């Protein structure tokens, strides 16, 4: 195993604050945008600069992976410049980052030499064979079908038409779209499986590839990336809206008011869907002018009395832990569906959420493709994170209104939001209502 990070598993007393929280929280840059911009920068024909890029375990792993393959990175305040070079063989640690384990193999196809990719023990059960088989079909020699595996790059690859079943993760589609222009024939990608999850992430990828000067044609479950140069450019990274959702949930469950500055008016981030979800559950939600940008302000219902919700979350699965925590507070039942693919995330999120909600006295039942959450009084106990950053933040939300909740391994939030626990404690400590 390469470079596994060993954390001491500690119990974090989740701050208890059932009274209304009034708070403004600045959120760092989007992981999804940052890691896509890094990949495009690594494959570009000149330097790129990322402004506002996230610094977290996932993005640091991506930067380290690309650096080990020959990309140079320099920092100047809030900006990082990536200067591409001839890609070489390397050993890569993907940690538990899906974007690294699935995007980097497509970059490694253009390295001159073998790229060995491994990660955390939990990562070895995450689906990855789809991208490896796709690369084989596109003319790349790959050894292995799961972590650890080796992409034997030869500096170039033929490309062409490839059919894949990406129903377990949209990241397989994004990986091929990001690298598609570097293949000699480009890539014609056809999805042959069931409903694609997380479509906003695919649209994000398409938009960014086009912004890098590449021609991308889209159809029904089909994408064609024309071969050609990928332009170096400046990428302005939006705040990570999914990382904002636990803080907005704090307003919802306490009947308080939380504001997140610099919320984009238009975005492809899945986290933007939290606006409509919170409204349907009984919150007041508004996008208000905030200097040269806008801020999102969420006001929870009096006493945090939320309504349950029936919701197809197939496009926004990453929000499930936050929405499940909200549903556990609601006064009526909720059904969250379209999320069978979450069984292959950092952990089996459906089983984990059900186990942890039920362990605290709740009633959460697994469905074939989701969860049914029925209101029940919650009590103190330990909320396990399963090395999953979004499970950990869900436990923090529960702990706001349930006294005596401890969250195991809160440090796993460093995957996408380093310092979460200090931000959360600062919100609660500065709250007034």
Identify whether residues 142 and 124 lie together within a single domain.
Answer: yes
What is the pLDDT at residue 432?
A: 57
6 part of a folded domain: no
Q: Which residues are annotated as a binding site?
A: 31-32, 36, 98, 126, 169-171, 198, 318, 345, 349, 390, 415
Identify whether residues 66 and 110 lie together within a single domain.
Answer: yes
Put simply, whether the predicted model's pTM sits higher than 0.95 gets the answer no
Q: What is the CATH classification number for the domain harbouring 368?
A: 3.65.10.10
Which of 318, 346, 408, 421 is labelled catalytic? Answer: 318
Question: How far apart, in Å, are the Cα atoms of 355 and each of 96, 323, 358, 361?
Answer: 22, 16, 5, 10
Residue 338's domain comprises 11-29+239-430
> What is the token pair recorded at 317?
């699965």
CA dihedral 258, 317, 327, 303 (to 10 degrees): 10
Identify whether residues 248 and 380 lie together within a single domain.
Answer: yes
265 part of a folded domain: yes
From CA 377, how far away is CA 12, in angstroms rounded?
22
Identify the three-state secondary structure at position 180: helix
Q: Which residues are annotated as a binding site for phosphoenolpyruvate?
A: 31, 98, 126, 171, 349, 390, 415
Is the Cβ–Cβ distance between 414 and 388 less than 8 Å?
Answer: no
- 266 as an active site residue: the answer is no
The sign of the CA dihedral 297, 301, 306, 312 is: negative
Identify whether residues 231 and 252 lie together within a single domain.
Answer: no
Identify the three-state secondary structure at position 414: helix
3 part of a folded domain: no
5 part of a folded domain: no
Boundary residue ending a domain (212, 236, 260) = 236
> What is the token pair recorded at 239?
């705040």
The sign of the CA dihedral 107, 169, 211, 242 is: negative
Identify whether residues 306 and 327 lie together within a single domain.
Answer: yes
2 part of a folded domain: no
Residue 220 CB burial class (10 angstroms; 0-12, 13-18, ≥19):
exposed
Identify whether residues 164 and 293 lie together within a single domain.
Answer: no
What is the pLDDT at residue 1?
A: 27
Helix axes 349-359, 389-401, angle to 10 degrees: 20
Boundary residue ending a domain (236, 254, 284) = 236
What is the pLDDT at residue 6?
A: 37
Number of helices (H) and strands (E) in the chain: give both, helices first.
12, 23
Measured from the Cβ of residue 113, the count of other Cβ atoms closer than 10 Å reads 15
Tell how strand 11-13 and strand 405-408 pair up. Answer: antiparallel
264 part of a folded domain: yes
Identify whether residues 25 and 168 lie together within a single domain.
Answer: no
| Chain-centroid distance, C-alpha 258 | 22
Identify whether residues 197 and 57 lie together within a single domain.
Answer: yes
Count of domains for the chain: 2
What is the pLDDT at residue 9?
A: 63
From CA 86, how far away is CA 112, in angstroms rounded?
8
Question: b vs e for 273-282, b when ≥16 Cβ sit within 10 Å of the residue's Cβ?
Answer: bbbebbeebb
63 part of a folded domain: yes
Is the Cβ–Cβ distance between 321 and 349 less than 8 Å?
Answer: yes
272 part of a folded domain: yes
Identify whether residues 209 and 322 lie together within a single domain.
Answer: no
Identify whether residues 296 and 166 lie together within a single domain.
Answer: no
Q: Which residues are annotated as a binding site for 3-phosphoshikimate?
A: 31-32, 36, 169-171, 198, 318, 345
Identify whether residues 324 and 414 lie together within a single domain.
Answer: yes
Identify whether residues 41 and 153 lie together within a single domain.
Answer: yes
pLDDT tens-digit profile, the chain (433 residues): 233 333 446 899 999 999 999 999 999 999 999 999 999 999 999 999 999 999 999 999 999 999 999 999 999 999 999 999 999 999 999 999 999 999 999 999 999 999 999 999 989 989 999 999 999 999 999 999 999 999 999 999 999 999 999 999 999 999 999 999 999 999 999 999 999 999 999 999 999 999 999 999 999 999 999 999 999 999 999 999 999 999 999 999 999 999 999 999 999 999 999 999 999 999 999 999 987 789 999 999 999 999 999 999 999 999 999 999 999 999 999 999 999 999 987 789 999 999 999 999 999 999 999 999 999 999 999 999 999 999 999 999 999 999 999 999 999 999 999 999 999 999 999 865 5
Boundary residue ending a domain (206, 236, 266) = 236
């Amino acid at each position: 195993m390469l470079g596994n990070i060993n954390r001491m598993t500690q119990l974090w007393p989740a701050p208890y604050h059932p009274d209304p929280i009034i708070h403004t929280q600045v959120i760092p840059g989007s992981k999804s945008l940052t890691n896509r911009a890094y990949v495009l920068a690594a494959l570009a024909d000149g330097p790129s600069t990322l402004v506002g890029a996230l610094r977290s375990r996932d993005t640091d792993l991506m930067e380290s992976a690309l650096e080990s393959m020959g990309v140079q990175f320099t920092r100047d305040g809030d900006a990082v410049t990536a200067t591409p070079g001839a890609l070489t063989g390397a050993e890569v640690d993907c940690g538990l980052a899906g974007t690294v384990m699935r995007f980097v193999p497509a970059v490694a196809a253009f390295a001159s030499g073998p790229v060995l990719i491994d990660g955390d023990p939990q990562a070895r059960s995450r689906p990855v064979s789809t991208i490896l088989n796709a690369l084989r079909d596109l003319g790349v020699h790959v050894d292995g079908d799961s972590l650890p595996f080796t992409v034997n790059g030869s500096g170039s690859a033929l490309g062409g038409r490839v059919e894949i079943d990406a129903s377990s993760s949209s990241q397989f589609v994004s990986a091929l779209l990001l690298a598609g222009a570097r293949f000699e024939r480009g890539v014609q990608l056809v999805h042959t499986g069931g409903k694609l999850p997380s479509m906003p992430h695919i649209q994000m990828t398409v938009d960014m590839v086009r912004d890098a000067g590449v021609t991308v044609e889209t159809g029904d479950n089909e994408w064609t990336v024309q071969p050609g140069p990928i332009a170096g450019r400046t990428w302005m990274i939006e705040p990570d809206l999914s990382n904002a959702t636990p803080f907005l949930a704090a307003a919802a469950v306490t009947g308080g008011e939380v504001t997140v500055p610099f919320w984009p008016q238009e975005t492809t981030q899945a986290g933007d869907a939290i606006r409509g979800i919170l409204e349907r559950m009984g919150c007041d939600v508004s996008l208000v002018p905030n200097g040269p940008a806008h801020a999102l302000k969420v006001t929870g219902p009096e006493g945090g009395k939320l309504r349950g919700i029936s919701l197809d979350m197939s496009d926004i699965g990453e929000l499930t832990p936050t929405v499940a925590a909200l549903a556990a507070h609601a006064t009526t039942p909720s059904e969250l569906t379209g999320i069978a693919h979450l069984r292959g995330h950092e952990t089996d999120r459906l089983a984990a959420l059900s186990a942890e909600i039920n362990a605290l006295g709740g009633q959460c039942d697994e469905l074939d493709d989701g969860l049914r959450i029925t209101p029940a009084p919650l009590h103190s106990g330990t909320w396990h994170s399963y090395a999953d950053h979004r499970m950990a933040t869900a436990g923090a939300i529960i702990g706001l209104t349930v006294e005596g909740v401890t969250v195991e391994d809160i440090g796993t939030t460093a995957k996408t939001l380093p310092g979460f626990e200090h931000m959360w404690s600062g919100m609660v400590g500065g709250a007034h209502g």
